[in-house]
Amino acid sequence: MWIIRYKPSKLIYYKAILFQGKRMPELPIFVVNLDGSDDRLSKISTALNAQGGSFTRISAYDGRKANQNDIPEYDSAGCRNYIGRDLNGGEIGCYFSHIFAAKQFLATGAKFGLVLEDDAELSTNAIALVKTLVAQQTKAPKKWFLCHLADPKMNFLSAIETFAVNDDRRTLYRAHYFPMTTTALLWSRTGAQEFLNTCLPMQCPVDNFMRKWLITNDCGIAVQPPIFSTTGASSEIDRVANVKKRNKGKRVPFFGAKKARRIIGEKIKASRYLLCFRMRKFFSKQA
């Protein structure tokens, strides 16, 4: 197991064991884990090892005591304008952790990379299924940036193709309205590069950004049924002592209306992509 840490404000390494002289696996796997969360790391390590999945541990940024004023990448005014409130320390930590995971994936030179949070729970054939998907996409690539592997309920989907390990079959969808949560994500190399080019300044939680970003290019995909789920344990990265996750005291006026307007706008964009996808499919059959 490799261990990687970083200094968030400049996103530089301060202690890293990199891939010196080692041949990287065909599918590099990264696990985001907060220092001190040893039980969670042990559980996911056992689960991955049981399926032959070696991984690199990403030392998550602990934002629980972070001062927003000391973080140059954070845009308070942008947050209040877009989501109607400031982010809490846990959300900032999650954002930085996924930025660094994307950077480490790109450093491997691999075409695809799997990023798991330490509360991810693997299905029976999880690693084999992801490797099958990667092999299928390598042979017959589709244009996509990010694949969501852990959401059981999704909307605005268009079926692309199926893949299977023995009798364990899954369907790959174009996710016009990209799912929330970041439990299990499969990056393409182009997607990770584009994410790093556009993800700062920080103006919303990272899963909100991913949805906003992927709605603009329709380059999100997802798998159903999901390959991963969550263990149900509360997130250590998102936990902030004595602060509610959604701090109503810092919400802007008309927060509810702002949120509804944002969601409706995103769904309108997603529905347009869905309609265009189905029209292209229909006319291709007629040709």
Burial 64-84 (b: 16+ CB within 10 A, else e): bebebeebebbbbeebbebbb
Q: For residue 201, is the peptide bond before it cis, meaning its omega torsion is within 30 degrees of 0? A: yes
The counts of H helices and E strands in the chain are: 7, 12
- Whether 13 and 66 have beta carbons less than 8 Å apart is answered as no
The predicted pLDDT at position 147 comes to 98
For 200-217, the pLDDT digits (tens) are 999 999 999 999 999 999
Average pLDDT over all residues of the chain:
88
For 247-276, the pLDDT digits (tens) are 554 799 989 998 999 999 999 999 999 999
DSSP state of 268: H
Q: How many structural domains are present in the chain?
A: 1
Q: What confidence tier does 35 reach under pLDDT thresholds 50, 70, 90? A: very high
Residue with tokens 């990010």, as numbered in its chain:
146
DSSP state of 26: S
Q: Per-residue pLDDT averaged across 103-117, rounded?
A: 97
The predicted pLDDT at position 40 comes to 97
The predicted pLDDT at position 34 comes to 96
The predicted pLDDT at position 4 comes to 53
Task: Please state which of the ranges 220-224, 236-240, 242-246 shows the lowest mean pLDDT.
Answer: 242-246
- Please report, in angstroms and rounded to a whole number, the separation of the first and last CA atoms in the chain: 52
Q: Per-residue pLDDT averaged across 159-178, rounded?
A: 96
Could you give the CA distance from residue 227 to residue 225 in angstroms, rounded to a whole number?
7
Burial 134-167 (b: 16+ CB within 10 A, else e): beebeeeeeebbbbbbbbeebebbbeeeebebee
Domain with 132 in it: what CATH number?
Answer: 3.90.550.10
Top mean pLDDT of 148-152, 194-198, 241-245, 279-283 is at 194-198
Q: Does position 236 have pLDDT exceeding 70, yes or no?
A: no
Using DSSP's 3-state secondary structure scheme, residue 244 falls into: coil
The predicted pLDDT at position 72 comes to 96
- Whether 89 and 64 have beta carbons less than 8 Å apart is answered as yes
Query: What percentage of residues in the chain have a pLDDT greater than 90?
Result: 76
Identity of the residue numbered 197: N
For 64-75, the pLDDT digits (tens) are 888 888 999 999
Structural domain that includes position 206: 2-286
How many residues would you count in the chain? Answer: 287
- Whether 147 and 185 have beta carbons less than 8 Å apart is answered as yes
For 118-146, the pLDDT digits (tens) are 999 999 999 999 999 999 999 988 899 99
- Whether 178 and 147 have beta carbons less than 8 Å apart is answered as no
The alpha-helical segments, DSSP class H, found in the chain are 38-50, 76-82, 89-108, 126-139, 189-198, 206-217, 255-286
Cα dist. 222→59, 66, 136, 146, 158 in Å? 26, 33, 15, 8, 10
